[in-house]
Amino acid sequence: MKLTATDKWFRNLSERASIDQRLYKVQIGVTIDETVAGTDEQIENQIRGIEEVTTVSHKREEQRKYGADTLYRVYEIKFELVGQQSRDGYRDLTLVPQIHRQVNGLKVIKRGQVKLIDSGLKESWAGKAWSAVPQQASPEMPHTPSLTIDAVLADWMDGSVQAYDTPMNTNSMAYHVMVPVDELWELCGRHYRAGQEDFDARYQDFIHTGPTNPVFVAVGRNGRVKLTGNEDAVWFAKKSGLQELPVFFSYQRQV
C-alpha cells in the first residue's frame, strides 16, 4: 500500500528519538520587601519568566510577617531540564541568582531539596530506579534569616553556643546553612592555589555541576575564623556571580 504524505509525516514523527525531558519541583523560602515588591501575581509572573521554569505557586499556610514591611513566604517552583543536567546546579546557579536579579524585593534564605516529578527516562542509582532508593530525610531548617559568620563566631566565643549544629542532608552533601559568598570571600587567600589553566578547567566544572561539596569554615574560641576546606568553590562562585554557598561549620578551641 502506498503511503500518503500525511502517513509519512506521522511515521517520521513516531520514529524520531524522544527528548529526555525531566520535570522537577523545589520549594524556595524567601523574604519579601513589601515596599519594593509587586503584587502576588507580578511576583509569580517574574519567577515564571526565569528560563526553564514552568509553574509557580506559594504556600499560604507557611507565610508570616517578619516585620512591618517584610514577609516570609515559600514558593513551590516547577522546572524542566533536558537530559541529565544537574538539578542542584540549576537551582544554585540559575534559579536562585535569577530570582535575586529579576524579582523585585525577594531574597532567597532557604533552598529546598529538588525532587523529580516526571521523566521520560527513569533515573537510576546503583542499578535501581531512583524512586526505589530510600532517601534520608533532612531536618527542618529554621525559617529565620541565616546568621552572619561573625554572629556564629560571637555565639561560640561568648556562650559556647553552636548556632548551627544539625546539618541539612541532601543527595550529594551535608551542610549547615547557605552563606553569602561575599562573607566567605573575605576569608580567602589573596592568590588562587594553582595556575590559570587549573582554575579555568575547574571553573568550567563548577559552572556545569554547581557546588558539590560545602565550604568548611572553622570558628575558634580564640576569635579567629578560617576556611579549612573547598576554598576553590568560593573563588569560582565569586567569578560566576553566585550569591551563596553551602557551608559546614566546625567549632574549635583554637583556629
Band of pLDDT at residue 206, cut at 50, 70 and 90: confident
Highest mean pLDDT pick, 4-18, 40-54, 129-143, 168-182? 40-54
Band of pLDDT at residue 17, cut at 50, 70 and 90: very low
pTM summary value: 0.48
DSSP assigned state of 126: T
Strand 244-252 and strand 215-220: the pairing is parallel
* Whether the predicted pLDDT of 244 surpasses 70: yes
Burial of 77 (0-12, 13-18, 19+ CB in 10 A): buried
Predicted local distance difference test score (pLDDT) of residue 21: 77
Predicted local distance difference test score (pLDDT) of residue 13: 44
Residue 170 — left, alpha, or beta (φ > 0 → left; ψ -120 to 50 → alpha)? beta
Band of pLDDT at residue 189, cut at 50, 70 and 90: confident
CA distance 159 to 198: 42
Rg (alpha carbons) of the chain, rounded to whole number: 22
CA distance 135 to 125: 12
CB 224 within 8 A of CB 255: yes
CB 57 within 8 A of CB 8: no
Burial of 5 (0-12, 13-18, 19+ CB in 10 A): exposed
| Calculated CA dihedral for residues 146, 143, 73, 75, nearest 10 degrees | 90
Q: How many helices (H) and strands (E) does the chain have?
A: 8, 14
Q: Which domains are delineated in the chain?
A: 21-121 (3.30.70.60), 149-252 (3.90.1530)
As a whole number, mean pLDDT of residues 49-53 equals 92
C-alpha distance from residue 165 to each of 175, 227, 249 (Å): 10, 18, 8
181 or 67: whose pLDDT is higher? 181
Q: Which amino acid is at 33?
A: D
Band of pLDDT at residue 84, cut at 50, 70 and 90: low
CB 233 within 8 A of CB 247: no
Predicted local distance difference test score (pLDDT) of residue 3: 57
Band of pLDDT at residue 1, cut at 50, 70 and 90: low
* Whether the predicted pLDDT of 70 surpasses 50: yes
Band of pLDDT at residue 4, cut at 50, 70 and 90: low
As a whole number, mean pLDDT of residues 92-102 equals 91
138 or 217: whose pLDDT is higher? 217
CB 206 within 8 A of CB 240: yes
